[in-house]
């Protein structure tokens, strides 16, 4: 690459300095005001980070700096195409560094965590057996297709999680009927329901001791804690940009190359193929790439990929030690505030002392969760999530129902004011000001003590303010 092209690429990658993390990192939407049904406006408190985190201002600035240089990736001779290609591949290196990947690992860009895990599922070798806890998000629970899947019951301590997996893997290796073929363990790093951290390193040790591999769903972990592929000793890691303050529709699957190289391309098309030739019989012969490009067919989402790399840089420069310390301060505020409201029950697998990220789910006695969430939004300008959070078996287990029962993500099952099997989730992160969680705690207390100030009705399965 020419010196001028290097300079232009560096200019695109330059953003404003990341502030020291003694307060929230600047995010888009931090000054947005929303109307209240009771009159007036208030600054919106975005407390649904576990679904999609707001974009860091740093990411937006980086993307805006790159946008005039936008061009096709990998297939153009022009200056902008070469610059975009270079930026795309530099982004791959940035993500590998962020994840502390091994030298031989591949970083494949996808659309999301769900897409990443479906890609891996499509690359499983024949006869592979998959082990997954019922506590997983549906992105980890459902994509395994025709593989033999063993669903493990929800553990109540981290040690029980490890012991449960060890027993299941030992039963597999002892079974002459099933044989000792390839196996994969899929586990979350941090629950999208309770926020609790899972014993990933210990589970990886157990998996490898029994000849299995392990993939880490880091969708809720990577935005809050450093993730080291080497230190955790996982075989793959998957995460989404839109939860990592880079909401432009890209994701990552990073890890060992062999299963990915041996599998058929996830999508067939340009970019995945190295050479295509007609045969005399009228068909075509295809030679596929063995690099990450094998599973990146089509024109890549270069802006989405670059935004992920920008977010990775921003979080590293802000310092995870500072980010974690500040988030623990916010977690303590919320948990202490909720503990003072007797009608509130916080959901947990591992207990009050378990380490966690800024994701907390709860129910309120006498309230339908959709009704409560609607009141938080309409009367206080607070955005949270209600429902089963695309983790139906886990939430139903925590609420004491049968984990096989069916439901719809985010939809209440009864009229407002009646108890139903859904919960409320508040989630926050690097861009959350203290005032947002303080307003949330105050709003919970006031709603429980005084009730809603407005009337609500059910519309298309949701509680909304009555007009």
- Predicted local confidence at residue 401, as pLDDT: 65
Instruction: Find how far residue 264's CA is from the centre of its chain.
Output: 26
Q: How many CB atoms lie within 10 A of CB 277?
A: 9
For residue 97, which of 230, 249, 247 has the smallest C-alpha distance?
Answer: 230
- Predicted local confidence at residue 405, as pLDDT: 43
- Predicted local confidence at residue 458, as pLDDT: 86
The catalytic position among 12, 128, 312, 390 is 390
- Predicted local confidence at residue 178, as pLDDT: 53
C-alpha to C-alpha distances, 93 to 7, 100, 106, 237, 264, nearest whole angstrom: 18, 10, 10, 15, 24
- Predicted local confidence at residue 177, as pLDDT: 55
Q: For residue 260, with 0-12 CB atoms within 10 Å meaning exposed, 13-18 middle and 19 or more buried, which class applies?
A: buried
Q: For residue 90, with 0-12 CB atoms within 10 Å meaning exposed, 13-18 middle and 19 or more buried, which class applies?
A: middle
Which H/E stretch holds residue 30?
none
- Predicted local confidence at residue 247, as pLDDT: 85
C-alpha to C-alpha distances, 395 to 53, 239, 403, 441, nearest whole angstrom: 22, 22, 8, 22
Q: How many CB atoms lie within 10 A of CB 2?
A: 9
Q: Which residues of 326-359 are buried (b: 16+ CB within 10 A; e: fewer)?
A: bbeebbebbeebbeebebbbbbbbbeeebebbbb
- Predicted local confidence at residue 416, as pLDDT: 52
- Predicted local confidence at residue 4, as pLDDT: 42
User: Are 182 and 127 in contact, with CB atoms under 8 Å apart?
Assistant: yes
For 441, the token pair is 């705690």
Find residue 45's DSSP bridge partners.
382
- Predicted local confidence at residue 282, as pLDDT: 86
Average pLDDT, the chain: 90
**DSSP symbol at 22:** T
* Averaged pLDDT, groups of 10, the chain, 467 residues long: 46 49 89 97 98 97 95 88 95 98 97 97 95 96 92 97 97 64 96 98 98 98 98 98 94 97 92 89 90 88 96 97 97 98 97 96 93 96 95 91 44 50 94 98 98 91 87
Q: Counting every residue, how long is the chain?
A: 467
Q: What pLDDT digit, counting tens, does each position of 124-143 carry?
A: 999 999 999 999 999 999 99
Separation of alpha carbons 403 and 190, rounded Å: 20
Q: What pLDDT digit, counting tens, does each position of 80-137 carry?
A: 999 999 999 999 999 999 999 999 999 999 999 999 999 999 999 999 999 999 999 9
Active site residue 101: no
């Amino acid at each position: 690459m020419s010196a001028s092209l290097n300079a232009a690429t560096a200019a695109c990658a330059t953003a404003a300095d990341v502030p020291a993390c003694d307060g929230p990192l600047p995010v888009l939407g931090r000054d947005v005001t929303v109307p209240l049904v009771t009159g007036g406006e208030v600054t919106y408190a975005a407390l649904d980070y576990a679904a999609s985190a707001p974009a860091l201002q740093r990411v937006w600035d980086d993307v805006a700096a790159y946008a005039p240089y936008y061009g096709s990736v990998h297939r153009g001779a022009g200056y902008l195409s070469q610059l975009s290609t270079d930026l795309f591949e530099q982004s791959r290196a940035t993500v590998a560094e962020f994840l502390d990947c091994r030298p031989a690992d591949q970083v494949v860009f996808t659309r999301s965590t769900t897409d990443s895990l479906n890609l891996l599922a499509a690359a499983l070798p024949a006869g592979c057996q998959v082990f997954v806890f019922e506590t997983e998000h549906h992105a980890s629970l459902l994509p395994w297709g025709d593989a033999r899947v063993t669903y493990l019951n929800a553990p109540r301590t981290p040690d029980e999680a490890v012991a449960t997996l060890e027993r299941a893997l030992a039963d597999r290796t002892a079974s002459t009927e099933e044989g000792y073929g390839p196996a994969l363990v899929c586990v979350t790093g941090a629950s999208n329901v309770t926020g609790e951290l899972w014993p990933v390193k210990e589970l990886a040790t157990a998996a490898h001791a029994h000849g299995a591999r392990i993939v880490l769903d880091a969708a809720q972990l990577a935005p809050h804690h450093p993730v080291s592929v080497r230190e955790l000793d996982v075989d793959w890691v998957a995460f989404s940009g839109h939860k990592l303050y880079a909401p432009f529709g890209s994701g990552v699957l990073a890890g060992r190359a062999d299963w990915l190289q041996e599998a058929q391309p996830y999508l067939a098309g340009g970019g995945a193929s190295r050479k295509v030739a007609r045969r005399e019989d009228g068909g075509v012969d295809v030679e596929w790439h063995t690099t990450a490009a094998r599973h990146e067919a089509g024109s890549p989402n270069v802006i989405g990929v670059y935004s992920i790399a920008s977010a990775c840089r921003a979080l590293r420069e802000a310092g995870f030690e500072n980010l974690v310390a500040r988030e623990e301060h916010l977690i303590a505020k919320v948990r202490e505030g909720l503990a003072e409201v007797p009608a509130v029950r916080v959901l947990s697998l591992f207990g009050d002392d378990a380490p966690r990220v800024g994701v907390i789910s709860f129910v309120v006695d006498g309230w339908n969760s959709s009704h409560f969430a609607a009141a938080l939004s309409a009367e206080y300008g607070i955005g949270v999530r209600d429902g089963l959070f695309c983790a139906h078996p886990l939430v139903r287990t925590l609420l004491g129902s049968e984990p096989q029962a069916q439901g719809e993500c985010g939809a209440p099952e009864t009229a407002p004011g009646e108890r139903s099997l859904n919960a409320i989730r508040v989630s926050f992160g690097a861009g959350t000001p203290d005032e947002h969680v303080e307003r949330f705690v105050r709003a919970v207390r006031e709603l429980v003590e005084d009730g809603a100030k407005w009337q609500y009705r059910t519309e298309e399965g949701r509680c909304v303010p009555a007009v």
